[in-house]
Amino acid sequence: GAGVSQSPSNKVTEKGKDVELRCDPISGHTALYWYRQRLGQGLEFLIYFQGNSAPDKSGLPSDRFSAERTGESVSTLTIQRTQQEDSAVYLCASSLKDRNQYFGPGTRLTVT
């Protein structure tokens, strides 16, 4: 496809379970970003990948959150031992290096 895709679109999980969210960036985009959007809030930066450089993890809220990216393609965001406060929409964006970000549709995570 032409845009950023994310899966699943919706995920309901029980408190304490692990979840894995996937992002497929636009082909050729070297930079990839993960954000969290709580209901009625703006976007909260989580992590940034740029090529083969070490990722910028400064936005990850706790050590339960981690993300990986294989080369310049797919990325997965993993949340371990989910808590109710993790409920949010998780948005992925990609860009050419140092250019503007294009967002995917997001994954809506609900922790019950």
Partner 1 sequence: GQQLNQSPQSMFIQEGEDVSMNCTSSSIFNTWLWYKQDPGEGPVLLIALYKAGELTSNGRLTAQFGITRKDSFLNISASIPSDVGIYFCAGRPMNSGYSTLTFGKGTMLLVSP
Q: Footprint of partner 1 on this chain (CB under 8 A)?
A: 4, 31, 33, 40-45, 48, 50, 56, 91, 93, 95, 97-106
Q: How far is the CB of 49 from partner 1 (least distance, A)?
A: 9
* CA gap 46, 34 in Å, rounded: 5
**Which CB sits closer to partner 1, 46 or 111?**
46
Distances (CA, A) of 25 to 31, 34, 61, 81, 86: 9, 11, 23, 26, 23
**Which CB sits closer to partner 1, 64 or 108?**
108
Quick count: other Cβ atoms within 10 Å of Cβ 73? 12
Q: How far is the CB of 17 from partner 1 (least distance, A)?
A: 24
* CA gap 47, 66 in Å, rounded: 9
Q: How far is the CB of 78 from partner 1 (least distance, A)?
A: 20
Q: Is 86 helix (H, G, I), strand (E, B) or coil?
A: helix
Q: How far is the CB of 96 from partner 1 (least distance, A)?
A: 10
**Which CB sits closer to partner 1, 14 or 28?**
28
